Structure 1
Amino acid sequence: MHDISLLTLLLLCLAAAAAGWIDAVVGGGGLLQLPALLVGLPHMAAAHALGTNKAVSIVGTAAAAVTYTRKAPVDVRTAIRIGLAAIVGSLGGAFFAAGINSDVLRPLIMVILLVVLAFVLLRPTFGAVSGTGPVTRRRVLVAILVAGLGLGFYDGLIGPGTGTFLVIAFAAILHMDLVTASATTKVVNTCTNLGALITFSAQGQVLWSIAAPMALFNLGGGMLGAHMALKRGSGFVRVVLVVVVVTLVCKLGYDEWVA
């Protein structure tokens, strides 16, 4: 167990609650939660930060998935198929994660954020409404390969931003509106978190004493975020996405080049 102060643990729990809310609304809560772990516990190995992040995230993501599937038009069958592929991908990604240096994570996360921001700003109508017509079997296969295996591997290897990328992938490939894409993402993201967590746990890279209290806060944030997204719709999800990405780009840029 890492010896940390009560104040540090409280701040990490508050970050987990905010990350759970963000993750439920638009995905990408790990972009807040993982940097919080790296800052709050600067001597923690990158693999332990990634493993602990997964143990926290899976709780809020699973709760949000249950909330969404009760009220949103989620194709659970397709989501589970993609999720099973995501488990395989995340198991593989987590296997290689031990070799990642924490000094590489910050600039890499910032590049990922900038790509997401550019995509959303250049496509103002993206995800506003669902596409028309049936989704072909080919598109479902592409979603399984890209969102399942591909993003599952990324989630196990690094993690932050996976939920956001899944939302974008489902809206682009399967023509979902942002609320339905967010709902489907929670089912798949729960699977990717599970696959990665199994690997991290087996390697002893989860700090459970820190993850447990953070997970409770993440749970509350996730349930609240899902309810708000369902109530307010795709426009709200899009605004949150842009605000979160811009804020995190500025924060990571400051930490990397100014602080």
Structure 2
Amino acid sequence: MGALTVSRIDTSLLNLAVPVALIAIALYFLFAPKLSDADRASRLPFEPFVPVLGFVVGFYDGIFGPGTGSFFTVGFVVLFGLGLTRATGSTKALNVTSNLAALVIFIPQGQVIWPIALVMAIGQIAGGYIGARTGIRYGAAVIRPLVVVVSIAMALKLIFFP
């Protein structure tokens, strides 16, 4: 739905809103007490609300994209009480799903620049593999600071190089 919508709306508001949201995520992960790999009590029932989270963040991903993984991770930690490593792993499954759904729309429209897309896909697979192995091995001790650094870096990139 986001990929269909992007060609029909003005996304300039996102140029400001997304960096602010990414900085808020960084601050949450920086200052939130007891962010660990241990699961906690869920604030929302998992089964009916995970599809809602997937739709909302997936819609955003189809329209704009940057920070999608951070938004999914925060949703899993804050709303569903998942530990950081489990939340990050679940994020990967939803992120690839939203990317594939967007491709279903963008490929027939001829919106994919294949040489760039293939290089990015290779980098994403390699980075995902290394990141997953690192996350499993070191858990929240590595994931937490990386979420902070990556969220701030993406926010700065979007602010200074839109």
Fold match, TM over 0.5? yes
Q: Which residue of 2 aligns with 1:248?
A: 154
Structure 1 position 158, deviation (Å): 1.2
Alpha-carbon distance, 1:249 to partner: 3.2
Task: Give the alignment of 1:1-259 within 5 angstroms.
Answer: 92-99=1-8, 106-131=15-40, 138-145=45-52, 147-255=53-161
Distance apart, 1:130 and its partner CA = 1.1
Gaps of 5+ in 2: none
How many Å separate the matches in 1 of 2:70 and 2:130?
Answer: 18
Deviations along 1:71-117, one digit per CA (max 9) or x if unpaired, are: xxxxxxxxxxxxxxxxxxxxx11001124567655434322212212
* Range that drifts further, 176-185 or 245-254: 245-254
Q: Deviations over 1:121-141 (max 9, x none)?
A: 342323442115xx6983321
CA contact (8 A) 1:127 1:176 kept: no
* CA deviation profile, 1:152-183 (whole Å, cap 9, x unmatched): 11111111111111111111222110100111
Offset of residue 236 of structure 1? 1.0
Work out whether residues 142 and 173 of structure 1, in 8 Å CA contact, stay in contact via their aligned partners in 2.
no
Cα deviation code 1:199-254 (max 9, x no counterpart): 11121111112211232222211111111111111121001111222333344444
RMSD over aligned Cα, in angstroms?
2.5
Flag the structure with larger Rg: 1
Contact 2:70 2:151 in 1 (8 A): no
- d(CA) in 1 for partners of 2:95 and 2:137? 21
Name the aligned partner's letter for residue 195 of structure 1.
A
CA 1:94 to 1:187, structure 2 compared with 1: closer, same or farther past 3 Å?
same
Partner SS state of residue 114, structure 1: helix
Q: TM-score w.r.t. structure 1 length? A: 0.56
- The TM-score normalised by the length of structure 2 is 0.85
| CA shift in 2, pair 1:244/1:205, >3 Å | same
CA contact (8 A) 2:43 2:78 kept: no
1:49 equivalent in structure 2: none
Contact 2:26 2:149 in 1 (8 A): no
Give the fraction of aligned pairs with identical amino acids, expressed as a percent: 31
Say which SS state the counterpart of residue 107 (structure 2) adopts.
helix
Provide closer, same or farther for how the CA distance between residues 172 and 140 of structure 1 changes in structure 2, counting only shifts above 3 A: farther
Decide whether the 8 Å contact of 1:143 with 1:173 is kept in 2: no
Instruction: Summarize the Cα distance change of 1:115–1:190 in structure 2 as closer, same or farther, 3 Å threshold.
Output: same
